[in-house]
Amino acid sequence: MPKTFTVPPKPQPANLPASGNEWINRPENGREPKESANEKPVRLTFDISEDLHQRIKIACARRGIKRMAVELRRILEEKFPPEP
């Protein structure tokens, strides 16, 4: 006689996002919350030395920052605040 058994459903994390976009836009995934719905991001590209890149990467890792872009955005915001 064959044995039967039931497999319980896979447990889901409590903070499961409602959609993929919600997950992508989480700050811990490298996205800063937008200040305004009309704000459109623009890309800024520039070259740095390999040594500087490694120093930034190491400093971010030591601070628990997973994405260098998050820290660089914070530094730029601090250095160039909006004018009153």
- Whole-number pLDDT of residue 55: 96
> What are the extents of the domains in the chain?
46-84
Q: What is the pLDDT of residues 21-80, one digit of tens each?
A: 776 666 655 555 555 556 788 899 999 999 999 999 999 999 999 899 999 999 999 999
- Whole-number pLDDT of residue 58: 95
Phi, psi of 39, rounded to the nearest 5 degrees = -75, 120
Phi, psi of 49, rounded to the nearest 5 degrees = -70, 155
- Whole-number pLDDT of residue 11: 76
Cα–Cα distance, 60 to 45 (Å, whole number): 19
